[in-house]
Amino acid sequence: MKVIYCKIGQAPKILEIDGTLESMQSLVGGYIETYPYEYEPMVFVINEEGKLQNFKPHRFIAGGRDIICGDFFVAAIGKNEHVQDDIIGLTEDQARLVMATVGIGRLKYQV
């Protein structure tokens, strides 16, 4: 499953993950939550407790009205093999779009 991974202090990168819940949780450091990406049908996958655990602020979302704290990745929303809505991998076109737009709103840190 192709995703764009954004780690604080590093450039976004394309990753292939196996798509299990555990693989997604390991990228964000805990329980996952989704938030709509600026372009559908894609989502930010974030740590649902990032703010509560005082993770570093990382990227503004919702037109600057909210913020993602901690590492995150962007994936697509679509039908899984059981024809249920699920987090799925990005297409090549979606990956290119995300790589061109994901940096907007990211905060800069020296690591």
Alpha helices in the chain (DSSP H): 21-28, 92-101
Strand residue runs (E) in 7-111: 13-16, 32-36, 42-47, 57-61, 66-69, 72-79, 85-88
pLDDT digits (tens, 9 = 90+) for 38-58: 888 999 999 999 999 999 999
Q: How far apart (Å, rounded) are the C-alpha atoms in residues 84 and 99?
A: 27
CA torsion sign for 61, 89, 3, 21 is: positive
Percent of the chain with pLDDT over 70: 96
pTM comes to 0.92
Residues of the chain predicted below pLDDT 70 = 108-111
Predicted pLDDT of residue 108: 66
Question: Which one, of 19, 16, 106, lies nearest residue 70 by Cα?
Answer: 106
Residue showing tokens 């954004």: 6
pLDDT value of position 109: 60
